[in-house]
């Protein structure tokens, strides 16, 4: 495989210390055969990253944050910098998730600044893009996602960044686009990434699909052209379901 698939679990605002048992269980079944086929990371709440570090490292799992501030430090009460996530044990961070864009009013410029901060700190940003149901029904899905890619990716970003396409209307709803819709969007996204980064970098950038991914539909979605893995929400909260998704690559 030119691009090693990545399956990333986004726990969102879920998980207490007892949830570390699920990361332990994931580590226990993330065997050499699956590790050779796909990279797995978990993005728990920031309160659990340092606690999960030893467990994840022992099992070969990566850890990520769910957001970061654009600045390295300062008077930003309640925020967490990319450097803090790195220090706690993270190697990735999600930026621009639709829930951040909608709940906190984050713009493409905000997302781009956070992606740049992640790279500054030595983290790999997972940059999220996606259209709402109204935008898709209006025929604007491609133009919306194209604009988000243009505005959210740092122009000088390296090829190891990750882009996640998450149709907003499919997140947590049980709805998923058709395979043809996913193929069209991911091919378009790769074209727009190349236009943004240049130099043939888009051939190395991993583009994940997210939005109601679960064990029952993972194999169908993960083998669509230009889909290089998944950003998994609810199904990542248990080892059984998360490994069930990742096992599409066995």
Q: What average pLDDT does range 174-194 have in this prediction? A: 95
Q: Which of 106, 135, 166, 186 is catalytic?
A: 166
- pLDDT over 90 at 2, yes or no: no
Output the pLDDT for position 171. Answer: 87
21-38 pLDDT, tens digit per residue, is 999 999 999 999 999 999
Q: Please check whether residue 245 is in contact with residue 214, taking contact to mean a CB–CB distance below 8 angstroms.
A: yes
Task: Extract the tokens encoding 48.
Answer: 């659990």
Q: Please check whether residue 72 is in contact with residue 83, taking contact to mean a CB–CB distance below 8 angstroms.
A: yes
Q: Which of 83, 97, 135, 186 is catalytic?
A: 97
137-152 pLDDT, tens digit per residue, is 999 999 999 999 999 9
CATH, range 6-30+39-44+82-238: 3.20.20.70
Q: What average pLDDT does range 194-203 have in this prediction? A: 97
What are the structural domain ranges in the chain? 6-30+39-44+82-238
Q: Please check whether residue 128 is in contact with residue 97, taking contact to mean a CB–CB distance below 8 angstroms.
A: yes
Q: What average pLDDT does range 181-195 have in this prediction? A: 98
- pLDDT over 80 at 1, yes or no: no
Dihedral sign, CA of 40, 172, 109, 230?
Answer: positive
Output the pLDDT for position 125. Answer: 99
Output the pLDDT for position 220. Answer: 96
Cβ partners under 8 Å of residue 246, min gap 6: 7, 30, 34, 38, 40, 218
Active-site residue, 83 included: no
Active-site residue, 131 included: no
- pLDDT over 60 at 166, yes or no: yes
Q: What average pLDDT does range 148-177 have in this prediction? A: 94
Task: Give pTM, 2 decimals.
Answer: 0.97
- pLDDT over 90 at 176, yes or no: no
């Amino acid at each position: 495989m030119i691009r090693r698939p990545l399956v990333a679990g986004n726990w969102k605002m879920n998980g207490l210390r007892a949830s570390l048992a699920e990361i332990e269980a994931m580590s226990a079944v993330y065997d050499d055969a699956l590790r050779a086929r796909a990279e797995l990371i978990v993005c728990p709440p920031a309160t659990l990253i340092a606690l999960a570090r030893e467990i994840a490292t022992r099992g070969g799992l990566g850890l990520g944050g769910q957001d970061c501030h654009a600045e390295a430090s300062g008077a930003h009460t309640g925020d967490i910098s990319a450097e803090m996530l790195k220090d706690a044990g993270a190697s990735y961070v999600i930026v621009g998730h639709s829930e951040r864009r909608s709940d906190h009013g984050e713009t493409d410029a905000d997302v781009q600044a956070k992606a740049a901060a992640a790279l500054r700190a030595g983290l790999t940003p997972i940059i999220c893009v996606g259209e709402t149901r109204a935008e898709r029904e209006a025929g604007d899905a491609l133009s919306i996602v194209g604009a988000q890619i243009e505005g959210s990716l740092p122009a000088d970003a390296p090829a190891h960044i990750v882009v996640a396409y998450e149709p907003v209307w499919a997140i947590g709803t049980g709805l998923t686009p058709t395979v043809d819709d996913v193929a069209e969007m991911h091919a378009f996204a790769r074209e727009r990434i190349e236009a943004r980064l240049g130099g043939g970098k888009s051939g190395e950038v991993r583009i994940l699909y997210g939005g109601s991914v679960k064990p029952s539909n993972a194999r169908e979605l993960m083998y669509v052209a230009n889909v290089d893995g998944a950003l998994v929400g609810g199904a990542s909260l248990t080892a059984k379901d998360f490994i069930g998704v990742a096992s599409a690559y066995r």
